[in-house]
Chains A and B, each alone.
Chain A
């Protein structure tokens, strides 16, 4: 994070007003740094032009890793390392290995995906987030606009946000 960044911060009370505001201000050429909300607002990521998350791909790859590891482990242990005859069946028959394989698939997919989520979102227990307005976890939606990336002046942005239904417009410097 570079220091001395100036932001205009628009506060919205209602999620539908916020959604329209995001769409309209982006049409007018305003670059929005980020929007902070107390709860997930449906359609906000598309309105902001974010691409779909690739976490499902990560989950799939981790899941496949789990499947392969579980199968390899069972076939190697019971088929090659110490073959045992159990109930007169083959040393390494597939059907009894399916439950453990399924569980390992789910386990690795879930943990791998959640781990990827924490890394991708840069979330760690000892990190404090940059907060534009502390009410964004309570009941306000907070739209942050970086002055450096926009051509409009502070006053113009302020007026635009007000006209789009922002209940307050503040400034925040980091």
Chain B
């Protein structure tokens, strides 16, 4: 029997009963979308359409429509790719690692965070595909498929190929993990539809729930599946950003060739991911009136994760500098000196301000429990993390070993267009999710109603 702890704040407020949970979460699935939803969807679709135009132009004209040049061969595309992949990491951390640590506060936020993971990874994947130009040929370059060149197989020694396997596995396993969580909740909506007399909806949600029955035997198996999926996802999520960082770390470019990259990238990924979860959930809880489920306490705990990971990122920046000085390699020292004082100083200092200084404000309880401050800081952190990737990628390669090749990167409308495309994709997917799927894991929240809510027994 579980006992309410007197030293912990309740996770669910407002004296909710188990029935209230079904009612509050299913309501937005059953009702018509609000005007606000349509407006948000409209804006997302406009962004998507504009981005699609830019993407089509890229496919028609070639990668030359981007601002890339012979020196800076990776810029916004790879920056955006790493940024989106990083954002995805928070979803898996919340659903898998916090499950292994038996952190019950994950239960109100894991569904939306995992959805965010899946959409973010889809957005990330569009960039390497677009960068390949003729991406239909890319399948032969990245997947070991028999081809007419030999068969000349993909190069398994390349970190870029590891990345393909890491990201596609990460996407597939996250999708399965997320879907497994949704199954019992689809059954809730199905049974409510049966009672309300909506035959079509009942059939659709029954199919989505795979005919879930909620039997003790099924739950028992279900729980062991969830636990093992969490156990598999935990090293998986760490491997993904590790491998993304190896795209850089295994090269011989000054500023990239660093052994600190894997842990530093993973911490940065969780940092930016939590910021994006906060941005999304602060809006979602307001729009769907879920303040009793996603409480200030949840927001405070996420802000604490932001302080920790933000500080790790800060230490990593300082360590990189120290090692550049201590290593006494002139090219390496120049790369870091150039970051700070070169033509991209503004990007570097934006990164430092947004990522290292701004999250330290969360040491103040007043700030980390304030919704407006959290919302603003969550966006600042994501801007900072975008600049981090931009700084790492562009400042390291815009100063080539041969000074005659030195150049700057100037993004074109098509560079920006594809970034806008992914925002349109991400937000329209998230809005569809929020409308048709339960945004909070009802089954898990119901299991803590007795032990961690304000309900009297």
Give residues in A with beta carbon < 8 Å to B: 14-16, 34-41, 44-45, 48, 50, 52-53, 55-56, 59, 73-74, 77-78, 81-82, 84, 86-87, 89, 96-97, 99-100, 102-104, 106-107, 109-111, 113-114, 117-118, 120-121, 123-131, 134-139
**In the complex, are the beta carbons of A99 and B162 less than 8 A apart?**
yes
Q: B236 near A: Cβ within 8 Å?
A: yes
Q: B358 near A: Cβ within 8 Å?
A: no
Instruction: Given A41-B216, A82-B150, verify A56-B157 contact (CB < 8 Å).
Output: no
**In the complex, are the beta carbons of A137 and B188 less than 8 A apart?**
yes
Q: B285 near A: Cβ within 8 Å?
A: no
**In the complex, are the beta carbons of A37 and B210 less than 8 A apart?**
no
Residue from B151, B211, B235 with most neighbouring chain A CB atoms (10 Å): B211
- Cβ contact of B224, chosen from A34, A37, A55, A100, cutoff 8 A: A55
Instruction: Given A40-B222, A55-B228, A114-B180, verify A106-B173 contact (CB < 8 Å).
Output: yes
**In the complex, are the beta carbons of A38 and B443 less than 8 A apart?**
yes
Closest to A130 in B: B213
- Cβ contact of A40, chosen from B159, B207, B447, cutoff 8 A: B447
**In the complex, are the beta carbons of A139 and B173 less than 8 A apart?**
no
Chain B residues with Cβ under 8 A from A106's Cβ? Answer: 169, 173, 232-233, 235-236
Chain A residues with Cβ under 8 A from B219's Cβ? Answer: 37, 40-41, 44-45
A56 to B231, CA, bound (A): 11
Instruction: Given A82-B152, A126-B207, A127-B211, verify A53-B220 contact (CB < 8 Å).
Output: yes
Closest to B192 in A: A138
Among listed B14-22, B326-334, B420-428, interface-contacting one: B14-22
Whole-angstrom distance between the Cβ of A52 and the nearest chain B Cβ = 8
A124 to B183, CA, bound (A): 11
Scan residues 202-237 of chain B and give those whose CB is less than 8 A from a CB of chain A.
Answer: 206-208, 210-225, 228-229, 232-233, 235-236
Chain B residues with Cβ under 8 A from A121's Cβ? Answer: 217-218, 221-222
**In the complex, are the beta carbons of B157 and A86 less than 8 A apart?**
yes
Chain B residues with Cβ under 8 A from A97's Cβ? Answer: 156
Q: B1 near A: Cβ within 8 Å?
A: yes
**In the complex, are the beta carbons of A136 and B239 less than 8 A apart?**
no
Instruction: Given A114-B176, A114-B225, verify A96-B18 contact (CB < 8 Å).
Output: no
28 A-B contact pairs sorted by A residue (CB < 8 Å)? A16-B1, A35-B216, A38-B188, A50-B220, A53-B220, A56-B224, A78-B153, A87-B157, A99-B165, A100-B156, A103-B162, A104-B165, A106-B233, A107-B169, A107-B172, A110-B172, A110-B176, A110-B177, A111-B173, A111-B176, A113-B228, A113-B229, A117-B221, A123-B210, A127-B211, A137-B184, A137-B212, A138-B22
**In the complex, are the beta carbons of B228 and A128 less than 8 A apart?**
no
Chain A residues with Cβ under 8 A from B450's Cβ? Answer: 14-16
Known: A87-B157, A100-B156, A137-B191. 9 other contacts (CB 8 A): A37-B214, A45-B220, A103-B165, A103-B239, A104-B169, A125-B207, A127-B210, A137-B212, A139-B17
Whole-angstrom distance between the Cβ of A103 and the nearest chain B Cβ = 4
Chain B residues with Cβ under 8 A from A130's Cβ? Answer: 213
Closest to B210 in A: A123
Scoring B residues 158 to 194 as 1 if CB is less than 8 Å from chain A, else 0, what string do you get? 0101100110010011001100100010011011101
Q: B124 near A: Cβ within 8 Å?
A: no
**In the complex, are the beta carbons of A36 and B232 less than 8 A apart?**
no
Chain A residues with Cβ under 8 A from B216's Cβ? Answer: 34-37, 41, 44-45, 48, 50
Residue from A39, A50, A96, A137 with most neighbouring chain B CB atoms (10 Å): A137
**In the complex, are the beta carbons of B155 and A84 less than 8 A apart?**
yes
Chain A residues with Cβ under 8 A from B229's Cβ? Answer: 110, 113-114
**In the complex, are the beta carbons of A35 and B211 less than 8 A apart?**
no
**In the complex, are the beta carbons of B156 and A74 less than 8 A apart?**
yes
Closest to A74 in B: B156
**In the complex, are the beta carbons of A117 and B225 less than 8 A apart?**
yes
**In the complex, are the beta carbons of B153 and A77 less than 8 A apart?**
yes
Chain A residues with Cβ under 8 A from B446's Cβ? Answer: 38-39, 139
**In the complex, are the beta carbons of A99 and B191 less than 8 A apart?**
no
Q: B342 near A: Cβ within 8 Å?
A: no
A41 to B191, CA, bound (A): 20
Residue from A48, A73, A86, A128 with most neighbouring chain B CB atoms (10 Å): A128
Chain A residues with Cβ under 8 A from B165's Cβ? Answer: 99-100, 103-104
**In the complex, are the beta carbons of B221 and A55 less than 8 A apart?**
yes
Scoring B residues 414 to 457 as 1 if CB is less than 8 Å from chain A, else 0, what string do you get? 00000000000000000000000000001110110010000000
Instruction: Given A37-B214, A137-B191, verify A82-B151 contact (CB < 8 Å).
Output: yes
Q: B195 near A: Cβ within 8 Å?
A: yes
Whole-angstrom distance between the Cβ of B89 and the nearest chain A Cβ = 15
- Cβ contact of B217, chosen from A34, A38, A77, A125, cutoff 8 A: A34
Chain B residues with Cβ under 8 A from A87's Cβ? Answer: 157
Whole-angstrom distance between the Cβ of A84 and the nearest chain B Cβ = 7
Residue from B19, B213, B442 with most neighbouring chain A CB atoms (10 Å): B213
Chain B residues with Cβ under 8 A from A113's Cβ? Answer: 225, 228-229
A29 to B176, CA, bound (A): 40
**In the complex, are the beta carbons of B225 and A55 less than 8 A apart?**
yes
For the complex of A and B, list the 10 residue pairs with the smallest distance between their C-beta atoms, beginning with the closest: A129-B213, A139-B18, A127-B211, A99-B162, A45-B220, A123-B210, A125-B207, A77-B153, A39-B447, A103-B169
Q: B397 near A: Cβ within 8 Å?
A: no
Whole-angstrom distance between the Cβ of B191 and the nearest chain A Cβ = 5
Whole-angstrom distance between the Cβ of A104 and the nearest chain B Cβ = 7
A85 to B39, CA, bound (A): 56
Chain B residues with Cβ under 8 A from A16's Cβ? Answer: 1, 450
Whole-angstrom distance between the Cβ of A140 and the nearest chain B Cβ = 9
**In the complex, are the beta carbons of A73 and B144 less than 8 A apart?**
yes
- Cβ contact of B155, chosen from A40, A45, A86, A110, cutoff 8 A: A86
